[in-house]
């Protein structure tokens, strides 16, 4: 059975978008995964199919109605057979991590609810036990772009999508660290040379160099990730710059 994605959105024409190209597009053509974009407005209220209303308590903007969202979810989720998690993309959600992506990719698929306007009535989020996820500390016009990001991150990890399985195992965040630098031909470019160790053929030395680079880059650029890595690996030992020179 292929990995199934359903996106509930006011703009189904945004899908598959870039996911119809490159690795994700070929994987879709090969039946590795499928994508359904479900129009939220089909469940709108009245002649104009209204999906939102003004917020109780006042304030700017509009809020997606709980009854409309619930009807869309009821139409997309078979509680008896559908074991896919239901995720709402929102800036206040838990930050999307590679661990989350790996868990989602290992499952049967995902149902994504794309927020719009000022957000979604809290009651349906609680009643449906929706998982709130954010792709970063910034605000987008809607959840569709975030849904594309989450789906791309998941699909590339599905078996058969990437040419080399190890490509998904040895990259940034896979082990709680940022990835080491990469180099290819030519060996010298504009006076800049490739580190000698990468040309040595000594695989143990290359692995050690790459690990040290990951440590150094993570420590300098993402102290939050580095602190978590050190806490999880209390016996970690780092070479000083003098020792490595």
Does 185 lie in the same domain as 102? no
Count the domains in the chain: 2
In a domain, 160, yes or no: no
Q: Which of 96, 125, 155 is the last residue of a domain?
A: 155
Mean pLDDT by 10 residues, the chain (245 residues): 95 98 97 98 96 94 97 84 93 95 97 95 96 96 97 97 66 79 96 97 97 96 94 68 44
CATH number at residue 50: 3.40.1280.10
Does 117 lie in the same domain as 67? yes
In a domain, 193, yes or no: yes
In a domain, 125, yes or no: yes
Does 135 lie in the same domain as 58? yes
Does 87 lie in the same domain as 20? yes
pLDDT value of position 169: 60
Does 143 lie in the same domain as 38? yes
pLDDT value of position 240: 40
pTM of the prediction? 0.87
In a domain, 161, yes or no: no
Q: CA 108 to CA 2: how far, in whole Å?
A: 8
Token pair belonging to 114: 């794309």
In a domain, 83, yes or no: yes
In a domain, 162, yes or no: no
Does 104 lie in the same domain as 27? yes
pLDDT value of position 201: 96
CATH number at residue 193: 1.10.1270.20
Q: Which of 155, 190, 210 is the last residue of a domain?
A: 155
Q: Which of 111, 132, 155 is the last residue of a domain?
A: 155
Contact by Cβ (8 Å): 155, 23: yes
pLDDT value of position 77: 86
Structural domain including 16 reads 3-155
């Amino acid at each position: 059975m292929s990995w199934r994605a359903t996106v509930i959105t006011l703009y189904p024409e945004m899908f598959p978008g870039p996911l119809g190209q490159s690795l994700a597009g070929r994987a879709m053509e090969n039946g590795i995964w499928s994508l359904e974009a479900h129009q939220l407005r089909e469940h709108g209220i009245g002649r104009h199919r209204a999906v939102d209303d003004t917020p109780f308590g006042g304030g700017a903007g509009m809020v997606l109605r709980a009854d409309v969202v619930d009807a869309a979810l009821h139409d997309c989720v078979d509680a008896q057979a559908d074991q896919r998690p239901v995720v709402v993309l929102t800036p206040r959600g838990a930050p999307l991590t590679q661990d989350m992506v790996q868990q989602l990719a290992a499952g049967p698929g995902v149902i994504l609810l794309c927020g719009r306007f000022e957000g979604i009535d809290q009651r349906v989020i609680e009643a449906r036990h929706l998982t709130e996820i954010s792709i970063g500390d910034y605000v987008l016009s809607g959840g569709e772009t975030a849904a594309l990001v989450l789906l791309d991150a998941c699909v590339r990890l599905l078996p058969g999508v990437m040419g080399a399985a190890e490509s998904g195992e040895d990259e940034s965040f896979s082990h709680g660290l940022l990835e080491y630098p990469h180099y290819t031909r030519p060996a010298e470019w504009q006076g800049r040379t490739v580190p000698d160790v990468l040309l040595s053929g000594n695989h143990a030395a290359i692995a050690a160099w790459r690990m040290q680079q990951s440590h150094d880059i993570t420590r300098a650029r993402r102290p939050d990730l580095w602190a978590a890595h050190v806490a999880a690996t209390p016996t970690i030992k780092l070479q000083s710059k003098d020792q490595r020179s």
